[in-house]
Amino acid sequence: MRAVVIRRTGGPEVLEVEEVEAPVPGAGEVVVEVAAAGLNFIDTYQRSGLYPVAVPFTPGLEAAGTVRSTGPGVSDLTEGDRVAFCSSLGAYAERALVPAADLVPVPDDVSSDTAAASMVQGLTAVYLATSTYPLEAGASCLVHAGAGGVGLLLIQIAKRLGATVYTTVGSDEKAEIARAAGADHVIAYRREDFAERVREIGGDRPLDVVYDGVGKATVPAGLGLLRRFGLMVAFGNASGAVDPVDPLVLTANGSLFFTRPTLFDHVAERETLLAKSEQLFAWIADGLDVRIGGRYRLEDAADAHRAIESRATTGKILIDP
């Protein structure tokens, strides 16, 4: 079968398609025929070496498709079942070998494309808005990169929960997309100082929580926008890894809380993976829009990485095997 293989870390050019042995499921494992894999920013961190992964490896943590075969001990899945996953490496391939415990059933009313497009970014938006800082009516949040994969879903979920949403975007086209998703205040942070603009709109320190997946470029200024005891959620490194934060900075800004969560802790237990997926799929059935902003062939995975790293994408990018 064909799969993308990374033999050394580096730029997008290290993503190469190879003919590899088709996987055979061992105990507790399932071979999934991949219908579509999802591109996530984390794929670029693993490719570049920012997040170390032993080489060689096939990238991609997320896909949806159908069960092709199951190994010993897998009793609740059979050939043809539609499934999706968000935490098992090897998605950029025609078939993926996945522990059965990492698979969730995809409901009939959710397409495989939508499932592949929503597992990582959708479950991330769900845990950020319901667990890390449970939003409720009257809460005020800032979502950076609001036209991105996580951003668009988080804006919509935050609005469903009744929050006021400030968001930042990198272009006018992205501003329109974030506005259409329901954001109350859209800030073009490549043109204007986002912190100044948030203060102009909401007054001094108007935010309960900042959801920051941009990282290095934005986290320090975000700390100055939070109310006393507010929460900074630094959940990504799109502009680079966040510089260390002196605890006394949290004191000086009003006894703030600072967290650096990862999806993998939120789906480590099977019950939470299933519960959060059910919540996500229920919201999708109820109109949560999963925007697919582009698709690339397996052979063009390097172009997909170039696009997301150069801020050229909106919503979700799929990789078609």
Residue selected from 4, 181, 308, 319 as contacting ligand NDP according to rule CB under 6 A = 308
- Asked if 308 and 39 touch (Cβ cutoff 8 Å), the reply is yes
Segment lying near ligand NDP (by CB under 6 A), choices 90-98, 209-217, 279-287, 295-303:
209-217
Asked if 5 and 90 count as a contact pair (C-beta separation under 8 A), the reply is no
Contact residue for ligand NDP among 67, 115, 143, 147 (CB under 6 A): 147
Q: Which is nearer to ligand NDP, 219 or 223 (CB)?
A: 219
**Nearer of residues 183 and 263 to ligand NDP, judged by Cβ:** 263
Cβ 84 to ligand NDP shortest distance, Å: 15
Characterize 78-102 residue by residue with b for buried, 16 or more Cβ atoms within 10 angstroms of its Cβ, and e for exposed: eeebbbbbbbbbbbbbbbbbbbbeb
Establish if 59 lies at the interface with ligand NDP (CB under 6 A). no
* Residue 157 touching ligand NDP (CB under 6 A): no
CB under 8 Å to 107, separation ≥6 — which residues?
A: 281, 285
- DSSP β-bridge partners for residue 66: 33, 82
* DSSP-assigned beta bridge partners for residue 112: none
Residues 31-50 that bind ligand NDP (CB under 6 A): 40-42
Q: Which of 81, 184, 300, 309 contacts ligand NDP by CB under 6 A?
A: 309
Q: Per CB under 6 A, which of residues 95..134 are in contact with ligand NDP?
A: 120-121, 124
Supply the minimum distance, in Å, between the C-beta of residue 2 and ligand NDP: 24
Task: Tell me whether residue 139 or residue 147 sits nearer to ligand NDP (CB atom).
Answer: 147
Q: How far is the CB of 86 from ligand NDP (least distance, A)?
A: 9
**DSSP symbol at 241:** P
Nearest to 143 by CA among 204, 207, 203, 193: 207
13: burial class by Cβ within 10 Å (0-12, 13-18, 19+)?
exposed
Smaller CB separation from ligand NDP, 33 or 102: 102
Binding status of residue 174 toward ligand NDP by CB under 6 A: yes
Rounded to an integer, what distance in angstroms lies between the CA atom of residue 206 and that of residue 138?
A: 11
Pairing of strands 29-39, 316-320: antiparallel
CB 195 within 8 A of CB 163: no
User: What mask, x for binding ligand NDP by CB under 6 A, covers residues 261 to 280?
Assistant: xxx-----------------
Comparing C-alpha atoms, which of 102, 67, 69, 62 is closest to residue 81?
A: 67
Q: From the list 115, 119, 145, 231, which residue makes contact with ligand NDP (rule: CB under 6 A)?
A: 145
Phi-psi region of 311 (alpha: psi -120 to 50; beta: other; left: phi over 0): left
Is 233 one of the binding residues for ligand NDP (CB under 6 A)?
Answer: no
- The reply on whether position 213 binds ligand NDP by CB under 6 A is yes
For residue 169, state whether it binds ligand NDP (rule: CB under 6 A).
yes
Site for ligand NDP contains 166 (CB under 6 A)? no
Which residue ranges make up the site for ligand NDP (CB under 6 A)?
40-42, 120-121, 124, 145, 147-151, 169-170, 174, 213-214, 217, 235-239, 261-263, 308-309, 311, 313
